Amino acid sequence: MDTEKTKKNSTTSFWYDIIEVCAISVVIVLLIFTFVARLSTVEGNSMNNTLQNGDRLVVSNLFYTPKTGDIVVFQQSDGYFKEPLIKRVIAVGGQTLKIDFNNWAVYVDGVKLDETYVKRELAADMNRENFYTYYGAVLDENGVLTIPEGYVFVMGDNRNASSDSRFAGVGLVSESDIMGKAVFRLFPFSKIGTVE
């Protein structure tokens, strides 16, 4: 009889342990996605070929300070777009940016960036006319801008299909509007891995 009672207590204890482990796991996951990371979905083609429409990303903001080359997710409360945007940081506060639209070249503090990730259109320039005539460029007439402290200049990798800091509707992005850096691609499964 004692053996039967011991078995019953052991089974009950086992199930309590399972429930406790599951509850703790759920709380940990919720804390991680609240304070450390979040999920974001790529919408549109502005980051082709690096990211594709529908890609699911893990975005981290833990102790994050933006730097050139990072892919970030941001949401501007007073911007033209109300949904979060995903772009690459090109220059940060205090740096001077120069864009040579004709030759697809970007310079930060006089140094040409090695942008192997950029999707180029061989028979076209980097849409200078669009950004100066139609969209209200934030750059001066020579394609130059010094980024103020606390802001970043972002562009999509698909340069001729991206609404980004070249466009006055987006303009410079406040660091406080950055939700985090894209660190990992969860979907599609064929491309799962870190984001470069």
Q: What is the pLDDT of residues 156-190, one digit of tens each?
A: 999 988 889 988 888 899 999 999 999 999 888 88
Rounded distance between C-alpha atoms, residue 87 and residue 20, angstroms: 41
**Active-site residue (options: 5, 7, 10, 46):** 46
Rounded distance between C-alpha atoms, residue 154 and residue 70, angstroms: 9
Q: Cα dihedral sign for 119, 123, 125, 127?
A: negative
- Say what the pLDDT of residue 101 is: 87
Q: Residues near 69 by Cβ (< 8 Å), separated by ≥ 6?
A: 88, 89
Amino acid, single-letter form, for residue 169: G
28 — pLDDT class (breaks 50, 70, 90)? low
For residue 106, which of 132, 70, 144 has the smallest C-alpha distance?
Answer: 144
**Active-site residue (options: 40, 87, 98, 181):** 87
Q: Is 181 a catalytic residue?
A: no
Q: Residues near 109 by Cβ (< 8 Å), separated by ≥ 6?
A: 95, 96
Where does residue 8 rank: exposed (0-12), middle (13-18), buried (19+ CB within 10 A)?
Answer: exposed
Q: Among residues of the chain, what percentage have pLDDT more than 70?
A: 85
Name the average pLDDT for the chain: 84
pLDDT digits (tens, 9 = 90+) for 139-161: 888 889 999 999 999 999 999 88
pTM of the full structure: 0.79
Q: Is 87 a catalytic residue?
A: yes
- Say what the pLDDT of residue 36 is: 57
Tokens standing for 150?
Answer: 């606390």
Q: Residues near 92 by Cβ (< 8 Å), separated by ≥ 6?
A: 66, 67, 68, 147, 151, 152, 153
